[in-house]
Amino acid sequence: MKSYLKGVLEDSKIVLVEYKKTVFFLINSTMKNFFKSKKFRTLFLSLSLLSGLLSPKAAKAEISWSETFGISDCKTAIEGGGTPADFSSATALGGGYVACYVTPSKYEITLYKIGICTSDPLSGSHLDTSSCTLTLDDSSGVLVDLGSLNQAISLPQASIRPDPATYTHMMIVMGNSFKLKGSYTTTNGTYHSQQEPGDAAKFVKDLAGGAQDFTHSMATNGFNFRTCTYNYQRTVSGVGVVRAVVADDDEKTVSSCTGNTRIVGVFNPDTDLVITEATNGLEVKFTITDSGMGIESNSSESYQPRWGWTGDFIPAFVTF
């Protein structure tokens, strides 16, 4: 990276602030002015999931997209404006299991690459990022907790200023491991997360010390924690479509769950991002409200919270 950029990048910070569990990454005034320069480099921290600088080569197998779980959020499915008695009216998954999404108090991920694209880089059986502008590229990764407040993050090396255009997709390369924790209350009591052997959490009633961290690794079963699910899709009404797929060290997508070390994903918002010559900068927010963690139960648990896993997050860019 050229030396005239280093001082700006090293001195710049992105500060997390939160409103109703929506985390905003605000570019400071130094970066607002610097954004106007054609030499601009910055970090756009964006969701839901995808590859920043994927090689535009054919994937190993065609990616077939469909709604992965079809799970609703718990607020809609079971709460009805009050504290629910149980999960019996949550989304049925088959085999007597039911589940819904809640807001975790911790959602820790490692980001490697982020970009914005003028077309879908995960269309068909090919990964094509020729329409994308990379806005974050950090081989060491940037650790971010989307459940935290008032945390400063040093601005890592990024890419050039995006050209004026209409950007239809947002993409990310992430690590394949998520660290979460959370709690949920029914009329039967408050249940807290605890690490379960394998790739899921166990929820325990009145756990001493409250919710504990658990790690959901995609290395074994991908987006599931019982059987392999190598890709993921969720459509959020009025917001957009989240898609993700597991990938290897070279960020090439794989059609099985073995050998994956990365998650590559794309978010197609209902409203496109438009950058013009008059654009001074961007604000990016991640939303984990009612989506960041899934909770599951069944009749043998009296439909009380029992197992947990990672959900997703939604990104949004706002120009200024």
Q: For 232-260, how does the pLDDT look when each residue is reduced to its tens digit (9 = 90+)?
A: 888 888 899 998 888 887 777 777 787 78
pLDDT tens per residue, range 184-226:
999 999 999 999 887 789 999 999 999 999 999 888 787 877 7
* pLDDT recorded at residue 220: 79
Q: Region 267-275: what's the mean pLDDT?
A: 94
Map tokens 């709690």 to a residue. 183
Percent of the chain, pLDDT > 90? 39
Residue 148 CA neighbour count, 13 Å, CB half: 14
d(CA 86, CA 66): 29
Q: How far is CA 298 from the centre of its chain?
A: 27
Report the distance separating Cα 268 and Cα 312, nearest Å: 14
Report pLDDT for 25: 38
- pLDDT at residue 218, as a whole number: 85
Task: Return the pLDDT at 62.
Answer: 59
| Mean pLDDT of all residues in 141-145 | 90
pTM over 0.85: no
Q: Are 236 and 260 in contact (CB under 8 A)?
A: no
